[in-house]
Copies of this chain bind each other. A is one copy, B any other.
Amino acid sequence: LEENEYFQLVTKDDCTTETQPGGQQFKQYFNTEKMKCETCSQNTSFQDVSSDGYSCVCRPGYRYSKDFGGSNIECVVCESQKARSADGWRCVTCNSGTTFNNQTKTCVPCAANNVPVERTVNGALVTSGGSQARICQRCSANTSLNVEGNRCERCTMLLKLNPSVSSCSCDPNNLAGGVCFPTTIVPLTISTLPLSSGSVESAYVKEHVQAAYLMCKDFVNITACQILSNLCVLSWYRYDDSPGTTTTCNLYRLILADLQKDYIPWLYYSQEGNRVLDDDKLTTEYTFSPASLLEYRVGRYTLNGTYLGISPVTGGLLQLCSDTTSRLNAAYTFGTYYEQTCSIPAIELWDTKTYQMEFYDLYIEFTRFGEQQLYSAPVKINNLEVNRGDTDNRGTDSQKWTLSRRFFMVDNVVSTGTDTTGGAATSTLPQYVRYAKDIEISVTLDSTLGNGRIFPPLMTITYDQVSLANAQAGATITPTFKVKYSMSLVAYLKDFQIAVGTLSTLGVIFAGYKTWAWSKRAGRLAIDFAAIVNFIFFVSGVLSNVFFVITFGIAFYFFIFYKRQSVVYLFLLEGSYYEEWLGLFGSAFALKCLQVAHMVATQCTVDIFFIDWEKPKGTLGIKADGSKKENPVSIWRTYFAANEWNEIQTCRKINHIFQIFAVVFFLNYVGFENTATKDPNGQVVKSSGDYQAPSDPMFRYAIAALVYLLVAFVQWLFFTLFYERFFEDKVRDFVDLCSMANISVFIMHQAQYGYYIHGRSVYGKADTNMKEMFEMMKKEEKDLVGQRGLLPNTEQQTFVMTLPRKLRLKYEEVLLAVALESAAGPQAGKEKGGLTEKQVEAYNIINKFLSTFIDHSLKSLDYQIRDKTLLESIMDTEFLDASEKGYFYNDNGHSFDQCLFYGNEMTLLLFDTLLFCIVDLIAKNFVLAGIITYIIIEIVALIRDHGGRKNLAKKTLVDERFLI
């Protein structure tokens, strides 16, 4: 053996040349083991190549004397005028009806209906003139030559129909499809099969439809009835309502009308579609746990009706797309919404081994009283037409549907095309393959009966075709296979409407109340434009929350109860129900955006002032007018406090960056998103080899919002119970700083409502050097000084306040002058962005005025400190009239965070959650949702930060350069 060898790729067709060693011609055969042409052992007069090309054979007129395959054969020439016998090992003379042909070296064939004989039945040699011979004998009565041509046999097929004849020959007028009928045939003109547009000639139909019809009708031949039915199925059940023999299905229906029905297969449902699909005889209780299967069974038949047994449909029997078995079988796991599609080179469909043409009768297996039953399942052929062009089966009105029983997956045999017109067939392949392009199984839960029972599932098939020419040019087909589930959602709709109606009404009422509370705080008694605008924003906020609760509630309900159901009672929302839910979800987000915008706008326009309690220390000599020139009080403590306030404006109660990372971690990396598939499988870790059902937007929303809120809750717990106590509480630190800096913060959230942080130093001074600061702090640690509270001997430093109208008027009056000047636009005397003299003066006036007010030193304007009543706290309002006298209410220590992001965490969190979910809804990707959410949150914070800084600079007169 030569190793590492290569050789030219040859096929048996390449072995036609003859070799000439030693001047003789030798034929070549194809050695199948060496993949090479090899020479026969004897020259061309002795040996030729076999018809398959894989071995040598003896030429006519030569008999074998050795035959071990390949070239290991030996031929011996027959005597003159003798031919090789049929078994190849002898030579015979040609006698009695045949003669020796000297050209071909064979006996000439026997005449028609004559049989060549070399041996009798018992193997005795026929001899003639002393030598072994081949003779011809005429077939006897009632016999004809068999297929092999070596014996006459009874022509049973003909005699069956024509028992009276003795000859096996048939009058051509009685012949149809190879069957000899006793009477003259009236020819039918059916020879085509339908395409999705137009039709194709079929040699098979032309040949068999007449015989099948007559055999079935007149002789009740079961095979013939099967063939006729299958031809009707192949013509997509199309029939004319007018009686007549114009279509195969008409023939079927004619027989059905005449005959007892037992002999002909059941093809059409005679009931209307809705009646068929309303049936409640399927008693299977479908459950998710343990997982039920949709137990489809098919009775399988070949084209001529040979029964191939009853099979389950698993293993891809009805799926043209190939895939792993487990993924294919996932289609029949009850409750798995299934979608499969792929692209297949169309030419593969012509492979009749892979795509066998079979006919299927569809059943569902179920158990009743302990016995296995078969339920006949309906099939809807979308290509079915009655009276050409009536396409009711494609419509949605189930009453007009014509349902049927039998179907095929691929017809790659009978659509042979137009080569029956007499021209030579250009190809032995069919000109068209017709196949089930789209299959959809639709399962509807019978909610009225409960117990996981279903109506008869409907399989809808749409056929299409592909032509040989296109396929050979590389066309591909994209068959689809879908399984979907539905249920009546009437009960759901009622609940949904009640929930939305009730909660929205309550929400609007609540928003009205909030507006009333607001207008009281804002000092507006009439319902003016501002009140209406505020009402709109309050409604936005409240309805957004309501819608969020409803949509999340629905999504979560469906998510949990769909996945956890044992006996099936729930499928997913679909169609308009789903769209309504989606609309509500979108509204929730849009309204939440409005609310956040309102919140940011409000916070960016809040009135805030830092009251400096510091008194001037010492003097700097005497002024020209004789008064003492006071040592100016340093503004740096105010700068410091303002700077810190600026920094905590966009602080959140939770770490929103970590929040996003954690959520994406759980959803994407840990794989919680895998639970959102439309199947009963709620596992987090799914094998990549298994079928992955499409994910449901509602489920994704449910799991995403749940994870978002849970992570936020855990963060909130961590920050509230742990971090802020033991590490850092920026809000508390700010109050501390105020105390140390001898600065109070006076915030008017609405015109006559606000928050007060009492930061008066327990020393009365803070503007001092490090040594004194150190001593002061030491004393406070040792409790040697008073407490920080506004009231003596209290710790309460923060208050909610309702302010008398007069105070507000005074405040506005002072600021108005400044505002007017600002409004006058850039002037020569005014620096861009800088402070004016007037503003500084206004600052001093307000500082004086407010500190006097806090000190109770204004007779006409006073306030009183009290606790809020429980009812006031619950209703978030104040009952006492503050028109003459203000009220300071003790609070929880950080009521002023209402002006910061910190105190509005709930609103922001819901905004983040909705944003995250809505991005995922659109992009179906939690990573992208996280990224977009991060960016939007940062932009909102940036706007708040920027607006807040401008506002702070404007209201407290601290230059922006110190707000870094």
Interface residues of A in 662-678 (CB under 8 A from B): 662, 664-665, 668-669
Contact across chains for A343 and B689 when beta carbons are under 8 A apart: yes
Q: Is A521 an interface residue (CB 8 A)?
A: no
Q: Is A496 an interface residue (CB 8 A)?
A: no
Contact across chains for B843 and A770 when beta carbons are under 8 A apart: yes
Minimal beta-carbon separation of A864 from chain B (angstroms): 32
Q: Is A657 an interface residue (CB 8 A)?
A: yes
The residue on B at minimum CB distance from A832 is B781
Cβ 8 A contact of A635, one of B117, B728, B770, B844: B770
The interface stretch among A66-74, A392-400, A512-520, A753-761 is A66-74
Q: Is A565 an interface residue (CB 8 A)?
A: no
The residue on B at minimum CB distance from A55 is B222
Say how many copies of this protein the assembly contains. Answer: 2
Contact across chains for B774 and A375 when beta carbons are under 8 A apart: no
Q: Is A737 an interface residue (CB 8 A)?
A: yes
Interfacial chain B residues near A154, Cβ < 8 Å: 87, 89, 119, 123
Q: Is A156 an interface residue (CB 8 A)?
A: yes
Contact across chains for B34 and A220 when beta carbons are under 8 A apart: no
Q: Is A266 an interface residue (CB 8 A)?
A: yes
Q: Is A927 an interface residue (CB 8 A)?
A: yes
Cβ 8 A contact of A119, one of B38, B68, B140, B299: B140
1/0 contact string of A343-367 vs chain B (CB within 8 Å): 1110010000000000001010110
1/0 contact string of A599-613 vs chain B (CB within 8 Å): 000000000000000
Minimal beta-carbon separation of A48 from chain B (angstroms): 18
Minimal beta-carbon separation of A600 from chain B (angstroms): 19
Cβ 8 A contact of A636, one of B159, B321, B634: B634
Minimal beta-carbon separation of A444 from chain B (angstroms): 15
Interface residues of A in 251-302 (CB under 8 A from B): 261-263, 265-266, 269-271, 276, 279, 281-282, 299, 301
Interfacial chain B residues near A226, Cβ < 8 Å: 33
Minimal beta-carbon separation of A763 from chain B (angstroms): 13
Q: Is A502 an interface residue (CB 8 A)?
A: no
Interfacial chain B residues near A348, Cβ < 8 Å: 325
Q: Is A342 an interface residue (CB 8 A)?
A: yes
1/0 contact string of A847-874 vs chain B (CB within 8 Å): 0000000000000000000000000000
Minimal beta-carbon separation of A889 from chain B (angstroms): 27
Contact across chains for B843 and A633 when beta carbons are under 8 A apart: no
Interfacial chain B residues near A435, Cβ < 8 Å: none
Contact across chains for B325 and A324 when beta carbons are under 8 A apart: no
Contact across chains for B222 and A70 when beta carbons are under 8 A apart: yes
Cβ 8 A contact of A661, one of B310, B323, B930: B930
Interfacial chain B residues near A345, Cβ < 8 Å: 325
Minimal beta-carbon separation of A800 from chain B (angstroms): 24
**What is the bound-complex CA distance between A122 and B168, given in angstroms?**
14
Contact across chains for B123 and A120 when beta carbons are under 8 A apart: no
Minimal beta-carbon separation of A198 from chain B (angstroms): 30
Given the known inter-chain contacts A143-B119, A617-B620, please indicate yes or no for A934 contacting B657, CB distance below 8 A.
Answer: yes
Most buried by B among A143, A368, A662: A143
Minimal beta-carbon separation of A805 from chain B (angstroms): 29
Contact across chains for A769 and B342 when beta carbons are under 8 A apart: no
Q: Is A221 an interface residue (CB 8 A)?
A: yes
Contact across chains for A640 and B643 when beta carbons are under 8 A apart: yes
Cβ 8 A contact of A265, one of B33, B661, B772: B33
Q: Is A223 an interface residue (CB 8 A)?
A: yes
The residue on B at minimum CB distance from A283 is B6
Interface residues of A in 129-160 (CB under 8 A from B): 137-144, 150-154, 156, 159-160
Interfacial chain B residues near A5, Cβ < 8 Å: 375-376
Given the known inter-chain contacts A122-B140, A123-B152, A620-B617, please indicate yes or no for A373 contacting B8, CB distance below 8 A.
Answer: yes
Interfacial chain B residues near A108, Cβ < 8 Å: none
1/0 contact string of A363-400 vs chain B (CB within 8 Å): 10110100111111000000000000000000000000
Contact across chains for A737 and B962 when beta carbons are under 8 A apart: yes
Contact across chains for B4 and A68 when beta carbons are under 8 A apart: no
Q: Is A618 an interface residue (CB 8 A)?
A: yes
**What is the bound-complex CA distance between A114 and B122, given in angstroms?**
8
**What is the bound-complex CA distance between A124 and B299, given in angstroms?**
44
Q: Is A35 an interface residue (CB 8 A)?
A: yes
Contact across chains for A767 and B634 when beta carbons are under 8 A apart: yes
Minimal beta-carbon separation of A202 from chain B (angstroms): 23
Interfacial chain B residues near A537, Cβ < 8 Å: none
**What is the bound-complex CA distance between A277 and B66, given in angstroms?**
42
Contact across chains for A840 and B770 when beta carbons are under 8 A apart: yes
Minimal beta-carbon separation of A86 from chain B (angstroms): 9
Contact across chains for B89 and A159 when beta carbons are under 8 A apart: yes
Interfacial chain B residues near A638, Cβ < 8 Å: 770
The residue on B at minimum CB distance from A664 is B927
Q: Is A183 an interface residue (CB 8 A)?
A: no
Most buried by B among A301, A307, A343: A307
Q: Is A831 an interface residue (CB 8 A)?
A: yes
Provide 20 A-B residue pairs closer than 8 Å at the C-beta atoms, listed in order of the A residue. Answer: A6-B366, A7-B373, A11-B310, A33-B307, A35-B374, A54-B307, A72-B222, A115-B122, A117-B121, A121-B150, A121-B152, A123-B151, A324-B342, A632-B772, A636-B766, A638-B770, A664-B931, A665-B928, A770-B844, A778-B834
By Cβ-Cβ distance, the 10 closest A-B pairs, closest first, are A123-B152, A123-B143, A32-B307, A122-B137, A632-B769, A69-B222, A9-B372, A123-B140, A6-B375, A636-B636
- Known contacts A33-B307, A121-B151, A771-B844; 12 further A-B pairs (Cβ under 8 A): A1-B266, A5-B375, A7-B373, A8-B372, A9-B373, A32-B305, A70-B222, A119-B154, A323-B323, A636-B636, A636-B766, A733-B961
